[in-house]
Amino acid sequence: MQSVAATHDRTAFAALFGYFAPRVKAFLMRSGLSANMAEEVTQETMLAMWHKASYFDPSRAGVSTWIYAIARNQRIDRLRREQTHTIDRHLDPSDELEPPDSGEDIALVAERDEQVRTALAALSSEQATIVHLSFFADKPHAEIARELGIPLGTVKSRIRLALNRLRSLLGDET
């Protein structure tokens, strides 16, 4: 990433592409995009990463979070464009969706990633499953109920418990 930022080095870019693109594509398919659309959005994501690399002060940690945010935004953009029949650049809704962390000190992101990963590892497997499934579905409740074999009526409180636990593991006041 350092050399992508500094010299726009294609070799470094290709290495990042090799590592992240298959993960991004899998993530997008898991969140409901068809294989073809996931392929296209993945390519757009990697391209956007290249164009934004100059803002990015690299360090290995934090990169996945940054790419995650770009992929998420590209996915939202794409889904909204599908709905907008007449393309009007002035009505492009996407600029609110810039990754909030693109200009943020990467050391902070790296530190937070570290804390978040430690916290995730400390969740019970049920709670980790809840957090994981919450990322992938528009209506995650049914899927969580099925996956964990719990009644739909208790899913909401289980989600709340899991997120409260995550919050306390991260040391945030409730």
Partner 1 sequence: MTINHHPSDATLLRHAAGTLGAGPAVVIAAHLEGCESCRRRISEFESVGGAILEGMPLEPLKTDALARVLERLDLPPSSPRSGSLVTRHHRLVGLELPPSLHHCEIGPWRWLGPGFRWSKVSIPGSSDAKVMLLKGRAGLKLPAHGHGGTEFLQVLSGSLFDERGRYHPGDLDEADIDVDHQPVVGPDSECICLVALEGDTRLHSALGRLLWPFVGF
Query: Within 12-41, which residues bind partner 1 (CB under 8 A)?
Result: 13-14, 17-18, 20-27, 29-31, 38-39
d(CA 16, CA 1): 8
Q: Which of 55, 81, 102, 124 binds partner 1 (CB under 8 A)?
A: 81
Handedness of CA 67, 19, 45, 79 (dihedral sign): negative
46 lies in the site for partner 1, by CB under 8 A: yes
d(CA 26, CA 49): 18
94 lies in the site for partner 1, by CB under 8 A: yes
Q: Shortest approach of partner 1 to residue 122 CB, angstroms?
A: 13
Let me know the angle formed at the C-alpha of 103 by 98 and 106, rounded to the nearest 5 degrees.
120
84 lies in the site for partner 1, by CB under 8 A: yes
Q: Shortest approach of partner 1 to residue 106 CB, angstroms?
A: 12
Give the interface size with partner 1 as a residue count (CB under 8 A).
79
Q: Which of 37, 69, 145, 150 binds partner 1 (CB under 8 A)?
A: 69
Q: Are 159 and 134 in contact (CB under 8 A)?
A: yes
76 lies in the site for partner 1, by CB under 8 A: yes
Q: Shortest approach of partner 1 to residue 149 CB, angstroms?
A: 21
146 lies in the site for partner 1, by CB under 8 A: no
43 lies in the site for partner 1, by CB under 8 A: yes
CB atoms within 10 A of CB 142: 11
Q: Are 109 and 101 in contact (CB under 8 A)?
A: yes
151 lies in the site for partner 1, by CB under 8 A: no
- Residue 171 corresponds to which tokens in the numbers above? 């040391």
Nearer to partner 1, 86 or 149 (CB): 86
Query: How many helices (H) and strands (E) are present in the chain, helices listed first?
Result: 8, 0
